[in-house]
Structure 1
Amino acid sequence: METTGHGGRPHRGCLLGLAYSAVWAEWSTGRAPRLVELPDCPSLSEDGADGCALYEDHDGLHTWQGRDC
C-alpha cells in the first residue's frame, strides 16, 4: 500500500491481484474512494528473480529495490 510521498496525488492500496494487473482502491483527501484496475509494473530485478509488486508507471523505487510496501 502506498501512503507517503504523493504530492497531492491519490493514495492507493492493492485489493486484488489479477493476471497482469490488479484492482486498487484509490482515495484522496475530501474525495470518496474508488476502485481502479491498473496494469502491473513490468520491472524485474537485475537477476530476474524478483518483480515489482506495484503498478505500471508508479513513482519512486520498485519493491525489489528495498521499498517496504
Structure 2
Amino acid sequence: MESMFEFIILPSDEQARYIWDRGTFLMSRQLGRYNISLYHVEGFFVEIWYNKDDNTIYAITPFRDSSRLEPYLGDICLT
C-alpha cells in the first residue's frame, strides 16, 4: 500500500485484515465501553475502536497527526 489514502478507501473488513497482516500493535486503552487499540502501519497510525458491549468493531481510524497520540503518551514505549 502506497499511502494512507489507499487504506482509507478499502472496505472495513479489508482494512482490518491489512492491519492484522502488516500492522504493529503498540498498545490499547479503555474509554467507556470501547477498547481502543493503536497500531502503526506503513507510515501512519490506526486506532481500532472495539465495542465490548456488542462485540463489534465500531471504527477503524487512520491518522498521521501526532496530536492524536496524546492519550497514549503516558503509557507507550516506542523502543
The TM-score with structure 2 as length reference comes to 0.38
* Structure 1 or 2: more strand by fraction: 2
TM-score (norm 1): 0.41
By relative contact order (CA 8 Å, sep 6+), the higher-ranking structure is 2
